[in-house]
Amino acid sequence: MLLPVVADSNDAEAGYPGAGLGLPASGPGSLARLGPRVVAVIIDWLICSVIAAGFLGYRFGGTGHNWAPLLVFFIENVLLVGTLGSTLGHRLVGLHVSKMSGRPAGPVAALVRSVLLCLFIPVVVWDKDGRGLHDRLAGTVLRRTR
Protein backbone atom coordinates (compact mmCIF):
# COMPACT_ATOMS: atom_id res chain seq x y z
CA MET A 1 0.00 0.00 0.00
CA LEU A 2 1.28 3.45 -0.85
CA LEU A 3 1.16 6.06 1.86
CA PRO A 4 0.68 9.73 1.09
CA VAL A 5 3.92 11.53 0.54
CA VAL A 6 4.26 15.21 1.33
CA ALA A 7 6.40 17.06 -1.16
CA ASP A 8 8.93 19.58 0.12
CA SER A 9 8.51 23.27 -0.64
CA ASN A 10 10.98 23.15 -3.56
CA ASP A 11 8.89 20.46 -5.29
CA ALA A 12 5.66 22.45 -4.89
CA GLU A 13 7.26 25.49 -6.53
CA ALA A 14 8.52 23.43 -9.47
CA GLY A 15 5.07 23.06 -11.03
CA TYR A 16 5.48 19.41 -12.03
CA PRO A 17 2.44 17.10 -12.41
CA GLY A 18 1.24 16.11 -8.94
CA ALA A 19 2.80 19.09 -7.13
CA GLY A 20 -0.63 20.46 -6.22
CA LEU A 21 -1.52 17.09 -4.71
CA GLY A 22 1.56 17.01 -2.51
CA LEU A 23 3.10 14.12 -4.43
CA PRO A 24 6.83 13.83 -5.11
CA ALA A 25 8.20 14.83 -8.50
CA SER A 26 9.46 11.35 -9.35
CA GLY A 27 9.93 7.85 -8.03
CA PRO A 28 7.57 5.76 -5.91
CA GLY A 29 4.46 7.65 -4.87
CA SER A 30 4.69 10.19 -7.70
CA LEU A 31 1.85 10.71 -10.14
CA ALA A 32 1.83 8.20 -13.01
CA ARG A 33 2.82 9.78 -16.30
CA LEU A 34 0.95 9.40 -19.58
CA GLY A 35 3.31 6.84 -21.18
CA PRO A 36 2.98 4.14 -18.51
CA ARG A 37 -0.78 4.78 -18.26
CA VAL A 38 -1.20 4.17 -21.99
CA VAL A 39 0.96 1.04 -21.89
CA ALA A 40 -1.08 -0.30 -18.93
CA VAL A 41 -4.38 0.30 -20.76
CA ILE A 42 -3.08 -1.40 -23.91
CA ILE A 43 -1.96 -4.43 -21.89
CA ASP A 44 -5.32 -4.58 -20.10
CA TRP A 45 -7.27 -4.17 -23.34
CA LEU A 46 -5.35 -6.96 -25.07
CA ILE A 47 -5.84 -9.31 -22.12
CA CYS A 48 -9.55 -8.46 -21.94
CA SER A 49 -9.95 -8.97 -25.69
CA VAL A 50 -8.38 -12.43 -25.46
CA ILE A 51 -10.65 -13.31 -22.53
CA ALA A 52 -13.68 -12.02 -24.44
CA ALA A 53 -12.66 -14.07 -27.47
CA GLY A 54 -12.19 -17.22 -25.41
CA PHE A 55 -15.21 -17.05 -23.16
CA LEU A 56 -17.74 -14.77 -24.83
CA GLY A 57 -17.28 -15.66 -28.50
CA TYR A 58 -15.86 -12.26 -29.46
CA ARG A 59 -14.09 -12.29 -32.84
CA PHE A 60 -11.41 -9.70 -33.48
CA GLY A 61 -12.70 -7.44 -36.21
CA GLY A 62 -15.88 -9.50 -36.49
CA THR A 63 -19.48 -8.69 -35.81
CA GLY A 64 -21.54 -9.58 -32.78
CA HIS A 65 -20.52 -9.25 -29.12
CA ASN A 66 -18.63 -6.04 -29.94
CA TRP A 67 -19.09 -4.89 -26.35
CA ALA A 68 -17.54 -8.06 -24.90
CA PRO A 69 -13.97 -6.71 -24.47
CA LEU A 70 -15.31 -3.54 -22.86
CA LEU A 71 -17.44 -5.59 -20.47
CA VAL A 72 -14.44 -7.73 -19.49
CA PHE A 73 -12.33 -4.55 -19.15
CA PHE A 74 -14.97 -3.02 -16.86
CA ILE A 75 -15.18 -6.14 -14.69
CA GLU A 76 -11.37 -6.41 -14.50
CA ASN A 77 -11.08 -2.80 -13.35
CA VAL A 78 -13.86 -2.99 -10.75
CA LEU A 79 -12.60 -6.24 -9.25
CA LEU A 80 -8.85 -5.69 -9.36
CA VAL A 81 -8.70 -1.97 -8.56
CA GLY A 82 -11.35 -2.41 -5.87
CA THR A 83 -9.47 -5.23 -4.15
CA LEU A 84 -5.78 -5.06 -5.09
CA GLY A 85 -5.45 -1.45 -6.23
CA SER A 86 -4.16 -2.30 -9.68
CA THR A 87 -5.12 -4.08 -12.87
CA LEU A 88 -2.77 -6.53 -14.58
CA GLY A 89 -1.48 -3.75 -16.82
CA HIS A 90 -0.94 -1.41 -13.87
CA ARG A 91 0.98 -4.07 -12.01
CA LEU A 92 3.24 -4.83 -15.00
CA VAL A 93 4.24 -1.19 -15.52
CA GLY A 94 4.46 -0.33 -11.82
CA LEU A 95 1.31 1.67 -11.12
CA HIS A 96 -1.18 1.61 -8.24
CA VAL A 97 -4.61 3.22 -7.71
CA SER A 98 -5.43 4.55 -4.25
CA LYS A 99 -7.45 7.22 -2.53
CA MET A 100 -5.74 10.58 -2.14
CA SER A 101 -5.03 9.67 1.49
CA GLY A 102 -3.04 6.62 0.35
CA ARG A 103 -5.72 4.20 1.55
CA PRO A 104 -7.00 1.52 -0.86
CA ALA A 105 -9.45 2.71 -3.51
CA GLY A 106 -12.14 0.28 -2.38
CA PRO A 107 -15.11 -1.08 -4.32
CA VAL A 108 -17.20 2.11 -4.59
CA ALA A 109 -14.35 4.27 -5.91
CA ALA A 110 -13.31 1.43 -8.23
CA LEU A 111 -16.87 1.21 -9.59
CA VAL A 112 -17.12 4.97 -10.19
CA ARG A 113 -13.64 5.06 -11.73
CA SER A 114 -14.37 2.06 -13.98
CA VAL A 115 -17.68 3.44 -15.27
CA LEU A 116 -15.99 6.72 -16.16
CA LEU A 117 -12.97 4.93 -17.61
CA CYS A 118 -15.23 2.96 -19.95
CA LEU A 119 -16.89 6.20 -21.12
CA PHE A 120 -13.40 7.23 -22.33
CA ILE A 121 -14.03 11.01 -22.44
CA PRO A 122 -13.11 11.53 -18.75
CA VAL A 123 -9.86 9.69 -19.42
CA VAL A 124 -8.63 12.20 -21.99
CA VAL A 125 -9.53 15.17 -19.77
CA TRP A 126 -7.10 15.86 -16.95
CA ASP A 127 -6.35 18.69 -14.56
CA LYS A 128 -3.19 20.75 -14.05
CA ASP A 129 -1.82 18.07 -11.75
CA GLY A 130 -2.14 15.43 -14.48
CA ARG A 131 -4.96 13.51 -12.80
CA GLY A 132 -7.64 12.20 -15.16
CA LEU A 133 -11.24 13.31 -14.67
CA HIS A 134 -12.19 9.69 -13.90
CA ASP A 135 -9.69 9.64 -11.02
CA ARG A 136 -10.71 13.09 -9.84
CA LEU A 137 -14.41 12.22 -9.70
CA ALA A 138 -13.70 8.88 -8.00
CA GLY A 139 -11.38 10.54 -5.47
CA THR A 140 -8.45 8.39 -6.54
CA VAL A 141 -4.96 8.89 -7.88
CA LEU A 142 -2.77 6.65 -10.05
CA ARG A 143 0.74 6.58 -8.56
CA ARG A 144 4.03 4.98 -9.49
CA THR A 145 5.18 2.08 -7.34
CA ARG A 146 8.80 2.11 -8.54
Per-residue pLDDT averaged across 82-92, rounded?
Answer: 97
So what's the pLDDT on residue 66? 76
| Residues with Cβ within 8 Å of residue 7, at least 6 apart in sequence | 18, 19, 22, 23, 24, 25
Tens of pLDDT, residue by residue over 107-133, are 999 999 999 999 987 778 888 888 889
State pLDDT tens for residues 52-68: 888 766 666 666 557 88
Confidence (pLDDT) at 122: 75
Say if residues 42 and 121 touch (Cβ distance below 8 Å).
no
Contact between residue 82 and residue 105 where contact means Cβ atoms under 8 Å apart: yes
